Amino acid sequence: MWYTDYTSLAGTATQISYSFNRPVNSFSLQIQDLDRGNTFIDAVTFLAYQADGSVLNLSSTDATVVNNTAYTDLSGNTISGIQNNADGSANGTVQVTFNKPIVSFTIVYKNDIGAGQPDPGLQYIGIDYMTWCTQANVATTLSGPARAIAGPRVTYTATTTASGDFAATGVRPVVQLSPGLNSQDLNFPANSSYNNTSGLLTLPLIQTLNPGVANTAIISFNMPSTTVTGRASSTIDTDDADPSDNNGSLAAANVTTTVNRAPTAQAKSATVSANTAAFTALPALTGNDPDGDPLTYTFASIPAAGFGVLYYNNGGGRIAVTANTALTADQVATLEFKRGTTATPTTATLQYFVSDPYGGRSANVNYALTVADQPAVYSSPNVFYRTSTGSGEIFASVTDPDGSITRATILTGNLPTNMLFDDRNAGSGNFYRNGTGNIAVGTYNFTVTTFNGTGGTTASVPVTIKIIASDNAATYSTNNRFNRDGLSNGSTLATVTDPDTDVTSATLVTGPLANAMTLDATTGRIVVTGTSVPFAGTYNYTVTTQDAAGGTSTAIPVTITVFDDTEAIYSVVAAPTGGYANGASLATVSDADGAVNTATALSGTTALPAGVGLDAVTGRFFVADRTKLVKGTYPVQVRTTDVTGGITTQTVNIVIKNNPLPVTLVAFGAQAAGLNARLNWKTAQELNNDRFVVERSFDARNFVAVGQVKGQGSTQSVSTYDYTDVQVASQAPAGLVYYRLRQVDTDGTEALSEVQAVRFGLTASKLMDVYPNPATAIQDAKLDLSGAPAGTYQVTLVDMTGRVLRTFRQNGGTVQELQLTNLPNGTYLVQVQGNGQSFSRRVVKQ
């Protein structure tokens, strides 16, 4: 018994909600004592929700309602009492049965008499029972590559899995593929059939599929030069607990494979040193992928060992390159060459190619290596204090990767007083100080031509020497503020710069350094070391540095601030009053430390609810495809990083409310009207609704558009629509026609309604059928008169010129072969007469 004490009469209501962990069928309940008095009107509202969030309508075929209309009234989803009924009578009893699967159910009970009436006190209704059916359930998925190279084999995998409480029987999986795949050597399981015109692949019947068991079908074909699509679905003989997971509407049941465009590689060339002890850096391998895929790089051939060896750097160590080993873009950017011991040949042409993750491969291109003289290089920077240099001190020296310098000549530039140049001896090319006299302050620029011992010449080698009067102090960076979350081993906390030249040494003066902080004694950088990070706080130090010119900066102050991260906070956006629109925000994030700049769903995109997207930069959850939204609360674990490096990992509950689609379709029906089909439907509200496209099918699988009705755009009012499909009964091969609505938004987004069936009474054109049609040389066609009244019929088979090929008699209610197997391929006419009937049907032999 459900008691309610109406202490307020302004629509006071109480409610109870039930939910199921999976859809249930044939949910039924009985409620008694719905009646009316002077101060009360019992009103009960029934809200049954399907898996997609839609509410079943008691006033339609969604439900069956049994009630005494003299005592109770049905309006929409609410049943109200009309008059008082005697205690113990059945007059106020209502039985409701829902004809579609539901996942949750709410009963709302209130006094509907309105304000201004006396307090009725205690009222009650009685719930006699609730029943429902557990069921079998089948889910279908389809997997395959997103891209593939035209020509090679492509494999799709269709998987049909049973769940629920009972085994599924008579499971009929199908895959809607692109048409015309017979020319691509289509291969599929035995006992399957593929319609090359429609693209429908019918897989073998699965007699029984037990809960938890999956049936897999492998489909393969040569990739054509156009996009291929696949959509897997299935039907079962028994009731299906959740038809939405095997009707082909889920993302996991659909695959689109586009043609992968092959990448290209660019030819390369380089000159390398003849010095067998020198490593020559090489230009990186490069490639271009028109689809933007990451590339790998493979040498199809490498030089003979006597010519030399290629190396790449892997974490600080050189590794010799071998043929047919795939390298990453980072690795081929570190290529080096070392000359072998063989003096000849002096050139070698290698080959390499690039590959993408989808089987795309470029043609081989050349990488030409030529052994030639390598240029000499002068030291840098060459900075000295005027008073700190001694007699014979070298200001600038030159090195040549091919061998020692034997001679050098200054081309441009004038030597200042007390600076000399060595042009011919073991130290050839060096600039050095003469005696003890000072050199004038200034910057001196020269160009030099050098000659090495192997005959190589380097013309116009630039060299700069800077003489300064006094030391300029080094300084540390000042904005050293860090989020503790953003620190890790190797993170730089502070850097030092010297206006004169590079810092060569650094010593901590005041400290000590905090835990996990280290001072680099060469560069002066303060860095994080080890697996831990510094605790939050402000740290002040002083450091003494020395630069390459010998200048010393003492007690340089440096301040480092480390702060604990303030966690990012997500806010769930309230559900719209109308429907959801693509791009609309579902949840946004804010961070007190700074804007979020990366966001990741920790389980990948599969962690996101259907139809929901995550902006990887801003962290915003949004509606990616409103047609796939399903009512519910979905916990998603997401990790965000802010501009200060702060990391927050949290679970965000994405909430999808009822009626997630912009158009709320509350009723859709189709009935036979003579030879016409009359469709009518109703919407509770619309948002940016451009039109409804009426689609028709004779097999409940392949639908075609037959008409359209303009939508209301945006409205919160109830709208009704109707459409008549004229004379369709004459086209229905089995007296059955199926209809659905394709709702199209102003932005082109589409959504499909449920399918409604219309059955027509038998007409003369339905008394016969010919199948299979077309027939073949090994499979004859049959004339089916099982729908015809009893009696004898004269059957005549003629060709398209009118020539009679065969006549015979056949009784109504029987099936008989037409004997087409030995006839030439073509079109024939089967004429049937008798019992006051005359009708015909075309049949094709191929």
Interval 274-312: pLDDT, tens: 888 889 999 999 999 998 899 999 999 999 888 999 999
215 SS3 class: strand
Contact 194, 188 (CB under 8 A): yes
CATH number at residue 810: 2.60.40.1930
Which residues are CB-contacts of 241 (< 8 A; sequence separation ≥ 6)? 22, 23, 24, 25, 101, 134, 135, 136, 137, 163, 164
User: Would the pLDDT of 729 be above 90?
Assistant: no
Task: Provide mean pLDDT across the span 724-753.
Answer: 81
CATH number at residue 273: 2.60.40.1860
Look at the block and give the residue holding tokens 């139809």.
611
User: Would the pLDDT of 244 be above 50?
Assistant: yes
User: Would the pLDDT of 403 be above 90?
Assistant: no
pLDDT value of position 23 = 80
Contact 565, 592 (CB under 8 A): no
Question: CA-based Rg of the chain, rounded to a whole angstrom?
Answer: 42
Interval 786-811: pLDDT, tens: 767 778 889 999 887 778 888 899 88
User: Would the pLDDT of 4 be above 90?
Assistant: no
Q: Are 292 and 231 found together in one domain?
A: no
For the chain, the helix, strand and coil percentages under 3-state DSSP, each to the nearest 5? 5, 50, 45
DSSP designation for 47: E
The reported pTM is 0.48
Contact 558, 578 (CB under 8 A): no
Q: Which of 514, 509, 511 is nearest to 484 (CA)?
A: 514
> What gap in Å lies between CA 150 and CA 664, rounded to an integer?
43
Angle at 238 between CA 234 and CA 239, to 5 degrees: 85
What HEC string does 587-600 produce?
EEEECCCCCEEEEE
The residue among 559 and 61 whose pLDDT is bigger is: 559
Q: Are 271 and 239 found together in one domain?
A: no
Tell me the C-alpha to C-alpha distance, in Å, between residue 563 and each of 518, 534, 538: 18, 9, 8
Q: Are 396 and 445 found together in one domain?
A: yes
Spell 201-231 as b/e; 16+ CB within 10 A means b: bbbbebeebeeeeebebebebbbbeeebebb
Residue length, the chain? Answer: 846
Could you give the number of structural domains in the chain? 8
pLDDT value of position 578 = 65
What HEC string does 232-263 produce?
EEEECCCCECCHHHCCCCCHHHEEEEEECCCC
CATH number at residue 390: 2.60.40.10
pLDDT value of position 700 = 76
User: Would the pLDDT of 347 be above 90?
Assistant: yes
User: Would the pLDDT of 764 be above 50?
Assistant: no
CATH number at residue 599: 2.60.40
Region class of 375: left (phi > 0), else alpha (psi between -120 and 50), else beta? beta
User: Would the pLDDT of 418 be above 60?
Assistant: yes
Q: Are 743 and 705 found together in one domain?
A: yes
The residue among 437 and 466 whose pLDDT is bigger is: 466
pLDDT value of position 85 = 86
201 SS3 class: strand
For the chain, the average pLDDT equals 88
> What gap in Å lies between CA 580 and CA 241, rounded to an integer?
27
Contact 748, 779 (CB under 8 A): no
Q: How far is CA 653 from the centre of its chain?
A: 20
Which residues are CB-contacts of 115 (< 8 A; sequence separation ≥ 6)? 9, 10
> What gap in Å lies between CA 797 and CA 795, rounded to an integer?
7
Q: Are 6 and 128 found together in one domain?
A: yes
The residue among 244 and 377 whose pLDDT is bigger is: 377
Task: Provide mean pLDDT across the span 321-336.
Answer: 94
Q: Are 651 and 731 found together in one domain?
A: no
The residue among 106 and 12 whose pLDDT is bigger is: 106
Q: Are 424 and 493 found together in one domain?
A: no
Task: Provide mean pLDDT across the span 30-36.
Answer: 90
Task: Provide mean pLDDT across the span 319-328.
Answer: 94
Highest mean pLDDT among 56-65, 650-659, 750-759: 56-65
Q: Are 67 and 115 found together in one domain?
A: yes
Task: Provide mean pLDDT across the span 98-124.
Answer: 79
Give me the half-sphere count of Cα atoms (radius 13 Å) on the Cβ side of residue 644.
22
pLDDT value of position 361 = 94
Interval 34-75: pLDDT, tens: 888 877 888 999 999 987 778 999 988 899 999 999 999 999
> What gap in Å lies between CA 424 and CA 416, rounded to an integer?
20
User: Would the pLDDT of 653 be above 60?
Assistant: yes
Contact 273, 333 (CB under 8 A): no
> What gap in Å lies between CA 768 and CA 734, rounded to an integer?
10
> What gap in Å lies between CA 192 and CA 174, rounded to an integer?
9
In terms of DSSP bridges, do strands 552-563 and 481-483 run parallel, antiparallel, or are they unpaired?
A: parallel
pLDDT value of position 10 = 53
| Domain stops at, among 656, 675, 706 | 656
pLDDT value of position 540 = 96
| Domain stops at, among 446, 468, 490 | 468
Task: Provide mean pLDDT across the span 553-575.
Answer: 94
- Backbone torsions φ then ψ of 614, nearest 5 degrees: -125, 120
How many helices (H) and strands (E) in the chain?
A: 1, 69
Q: Are 119 and 13 found together in one domain?
A: yes
User: Would the pLDDT of 450 be above 90?
Assistant: yes
The tokens for 506 are 């650094």
User: Would the pLDDT of 232 be above 90?
Assistant: yes
- Backbone torsions φ then ψ of 93, nearest 5 degrees: -90, 135
**First CA to last CA across the chain, in angstroms?**
70
419 SS3 class: strand
Interval 594-644: pLDDT, tens: 999 999 888 655 578 888 999 999 999 999 887 778 778 888 889 999 999
Spell 565-592 as b/e; 16+ CB within 10 A means b: bbbbebeeeebeebbbbbeeebbbbebe
User: Would the pLDDT of 703 be above 70?
Assistant: yes
CATH number at residue 176: 2.60.40.1510
| Domain stops at, among 410, 443, 468 | 468
Q: How confident is the model at residue 761 (pLDDT cuts 50, 70, 90)?
A: low
Q: How confident is the model at residue 427 (pLDDT cuts 50, 70, 90)?
A: low
Domain that holds residue 350: 264-372
Q: Are 255 and 166 found together in one domain?
A: yes
Q: Are 523 and 489 found together in one domain?
A: yes
Q: Which of 201, 360, 388 is nearest to 288 (CA)?
A: 360
Q: Are 10 and 119 found together in one domain?
A: yes
Task: Provide mean pLDDT across the span 553-570.
Answer: 95
